[in-house]
Amino acid sequence: MASIRTLLALAVVVTSCSPAAQNSPSLSQSEPSTSSSTADILCGKNEGECLKQLASLATRDGDQLRLKLTNGQTKTFTTMRRACEANIYDKCLQYRLMGYFTRHSQFLVDVGYLNHGGITLLVSSQTGNHIRLDATPHYSPSGKRIAAVSASEAEDHAANSIQIWSTTSDPPKSEWRYTVPKGEYALYEFVGWDGDERLKMTVTTRIGQGPLQSLPVEAVRTNNGWKLMPTALNELN
């Protein structure tokens, strides 16, 4: 087992990334939905509730999920049912509307794989452009950035990562992606944003041969880019 210094080593900034496949479905735990015209709508697994509340923006026709864009076009995601029935893993994609970020004009779409796992798509309602995330996104207070923190012990079908994106472009641009090194046990969880340049999290890890512990950590934007800052490190050594 790696030492705590190795496990929580600072991660330097990455200017671009290629998002990987995600952990188990990121919205497996439902979040309260709301019908407010200004509030975000997160429906968890209940796509029917999302379609009901977003009837003017999204519809489903069998395997086709259709999203209405403000430019007059329609973005369509089609579940590959035949591939799923034939147990073709790499072609079995199941799309499900999971929410809408009203203040940011972004749809949230879950893409499930055959039997397990998947990714999350954040889709612009203005252009239909989308990015692939490893987990449910969380906007910073000003909406300038989004973070997706994914934790999973299933190494073969999941990502164990921290992603930060800038929303100043359409689609959003990746600013940083940290992936837990292979062989190290560290499960990161989102706690909250502190402004737009400090992301608070916890990490579940093991110190030496001791029991697993949940420690506070932060990702901080510095002059040299984003870095992972283990705030508890000095107290443990």
pLDDT reading at 237 higher than 60: no
The residue-averaged pLDDT of 78-85 equals: 92
pLDDT-derived band at 235, boundaries 50, 70, 90: very low
pTM: 0.78
SS3 63: coil
Average pLDDT across the chain, whole number: 81
Give burial (CB, 10 Å; 0-12/13-18/19+) of 5: exposed
**Model confidence over 24-50: pLDDT tens digits?**
333 333 333 333 456 899 998 899 999
More confident residue, 60 or 154: 60
Give burial (CB, 10 Å; 0-12/13-18/19+) of 35: exposed
The residue-averaged pLDDT of 147-158 equals: 76
What Rg, from alpha-carbon coordinates, does the chain have? 19
pLDDT at res. 160? 86
* Residues whose CB is less than 8 angstroms from the CB of residue 198 and which lie 6 or more positions away in sequence, other chains included: 218, 219, 220, 221
Give whole-number Cα distances, 179 to 5, 24, 54, 150, 210, in Å.
Answer: 16, 16, 35, 9, 24
Token pair of 26 as six digits = 């990121």
pLDDT at res. 157? 52
